[in-house]
Amino acid sequence: MRKLRKVVLILFLFLFSGLTLFFQGSRKLSDKSPISSSQIDDDNDYMFIWDEFKNASADIKGDDSLVFGPSLGNYHNYTEIKYKINNLEINFPEMIEVFSIGTTYLGHDIYAVRITNEEINTKKKEILIVAQHHAREQITVENALYFIDKIINDTINQDENIINLLNEKEIFVIPSLNIDGSLLISSFPWQRKTVSGLNLNGGELIDKLSLTIPEIEPKDIDGDGYISVFYSDNDNKYAINSGYEGEDLNDNEIIGEDVFGGTDPNRNYDHDFGNPSYSTSLPESQIYHGEKPFSEKCTKNLKNFIEDHSFETVVSLHSGIQAIYYPQVYEFNQKYKEEFDVKNYENITSSLANILGFSSSIILFEAGMFSPWMYWENRDNRIAICLETYGNNSALKITHDLSTGLYEQWGIWDFFNPPANKVIENSELIFKGLLHLAEHTNPELKKIPGYEPFHFIMFFVGSIYIISKKKK
């Protein structure tokens, strides 16, 4: 049955991978972006990611994605991700299964890769790694793909630790969650959020039936290789922009402001949703939480996928800094856990910080973020980590025009992503951390005597208090 499904999947990809297109201006932009020559192996053998990045370019002046165009250079665009992971399944069927967890707003499949020893059918503990919640954090895609390749390569080379890991656990990797947003970064490197059908002025920007989009206003007008953003002190409070370097295409005398609407998928989960400390109801904001929890197809499909599994350890990959974040874990807040996990988190984050050389801290404002939702709202989860894999603060340049009060900022790609020739070095480091998390064994939960009655009493007292307040 599995072989038949694989044949059908391969035929489907060949027949339909080129049919889903959408336009940007007169240029077509689709999920079938060009495949870089570095991703093609003439012998049809599988090419590991470290070979794909051989002779990768060094630091490029400007936003690298603007220079690379839709191929993204050595970085993997959506077409290349599909090509790579399906080639993985063809070459290593005894370890790899590829499947879709659902589609995005624009109809693109969100793929997951399952890694395990297929010959052992006993119940195994499950681990989940999710990359690219935010479109511009492209390095997380490479970190995820490197992790898959290294696990496969080490298994082939008879690494006993990896063999034992795959005998005992199933590892699921989603290389790109926010696919729609990722398709825009080659022309708009600031893209963080998902893509919706409206622009920020409420006008129709995307025709979902034809998947066509008109030209957008942000552009590199001065030819320095960057697209700048402009904002005021007041804007910065809400993570919104006054506009981007570009053109005024709709004749409203505002330059570069007509961009894609969308939602921050990492504010779209149903835990502490809408907390104004670190999210907002303003659609123009970079941290807009959406109309309601799981309003975005990518987060909704991820939720449904998670509910069908029992993920004990979950890692969400981000970039912008090198750090480890974990949810607030307090006994009195426990919703499902029978015993609090404070010591477990202290142990794993401390050891992870030592391996990576990163700082670790609690997520203070959970505000609809994935990792806190994963921990608090999913009974089986014990460890949920937000792992920030890369950041280059010096790349982001800022000037302040006193005459207008506006700040100008540029260098967003290099802030979130390393030069292509540094991707493997970064991914090698991140692999060590991900492997440590995958190998970690969570201690068994034990019921605390009197724990449930304590919560019942607290709930009862709280309810009486709320009722008395309402009567007043």
Per-residue pLDDT tens over the stretch 269-322: 999 999 998 999 988 889 999 999 999 999 999 999 999 999 999 999 999 999
Which of these, 143, 55, 158, 100, lies nearest to 388 by C-alpha position? 143
445 band by pLDDT with thresholds 50, 70 and 90: low
What is the arithmetic mean of pLDDT over 380-408? 93
Contacts of 16 (CB under 8 A, 6+ apart): none
95 vs 234: which has the higher pLDDT: 95
Report if residue 56 sits inside a domain. Answer: yes
The CATH number given to whatever domain includes residue 429 is: 3.40.630.10
Give the model confidence (pLDDT) of 459-470 as tens digits. 444 444 444 444
Q: Residue 246's pLDDT band (boundaries 50, 70, 90)?
A: confident
pLDDT of residue 307: 95
Residue 221 domain flag: no
In this model, does residue 247 exceed pLDDT 60? yes
% of the chain surpassing 70 pLDDT: 76
Tokens of 327: 């949810």
The answer as to whether 35 is a domain residue is yes
Give the gyration radius of the chain's Cα atoms: 23
User: Average pLDDT, whole number, for the chain?
Assistant: 83
Task: State residue 379's pLDDT score.
Answer: 75
Pairing of strands 27-30, 21-24: antiparallel
Q: Which is it for strands 96-103 and 109-115: parallel, antiparallel or unpaired?
A: antiparallel
**Total-model pTM:** 0.84
Domain for residue 348, yes or no?
Answer: yes
Nearest to 245 by CA among 362, 7, 85, 407: 407
pLDDT band at 217 (very low <50, low <70, confident <90, very high): confident
Residue 377, token pair as written in the block: 């709202």
Q: What is the pairing mode between strands 229-231 and 243-244?
A: antiparallel
What 3-state class would DSSP assign to 351?
A: helix
Per the structure, the count of domains in the chain is 1
Q: Does residue 64 lie in a domain region?
A: yes
Helix (H, G, I), strand (E, B) or coil at 458: helix
Q: Shortest CA distance to 282 belongs to which of 236, 246, 214, 227?
A: 236
Amino acid 215: pLDDT: 64
pLDDT at 392 over 80: yes
Within 10 A of 92 (CB to CB), how many other CB atoms are there? 17
Torsion of CA 131, 158, 122, 143, to 10 degrees: 0
Q: Residue 419 pLDDT more than 90?
A: yes
| Mean pLDDT across 407-425 | 97
pLDDT at residue number 395: 96
pLDDT (0 to 100) of residue 202: 47
What span, in angstroms and rounded, lies between the C-alpha atoms of 64 and 396? 13
Residue 375 tokens read as: 């921990």
Mean pLDDT check: name the lowest of 83-97, 145-159, 317-331: 317-331
Residues near 249 by beta carbon (within 8 Å), at least 6 away in sequence: 214, 215, 216, 217, 258
pLDDT at 329: 77
Q: What's the confidence (pLDDT) of residue 399?
A: 94
pLDDT at 208: 46
Mean pLDDT of 329-353: 74
Is 345 inside any structural domain?
yes
The answer as to whether 104 is a domain residue is yes
Instruction: Kindly tell me if the per-residue pLDDT of 343 is higher than 50.
Output: yes
The predicted structure's pLDDT at residue 455: 45
For the record, the structure tokens of 356 come out as 């990576």
Q: How confident is the model at residue 404 (pLDDT cuts 50, 70, 90)?
A: confident
* Element housing 130 (H / E): strand 125-130
Give the C-alpha separation, 36 to 12, whole Å: 22
CA distance 314 to 155: 22
CB 265 within 8 A of CB 299: yes
Domain for residue 236, yes or no? Answer: no
Mean pLDDT for 411-426 is 98
Of 34-43, 44-53, 66-75, 377-386, the range with the highest mean pLDDT is 66-75
And the tokens for 413? Answer: 């790609």
Q: Which range has the worst mean pLDDT, 32-41, 49-58, 187-196, 205-214?
A: 205-214
**pLDDT band (50, 70, 90) for residue 261:** confident
Mean of the pLDDT values across residues 77-83?
97
More reliable by pLDDT, 244 or 142: 142
The range of the structural domain enclosing residue 107 comes to 21-184+296-393+420-439
Q: Mean per-residue pLDDT for 247-267? A: 72
pLDDT at 60: 92
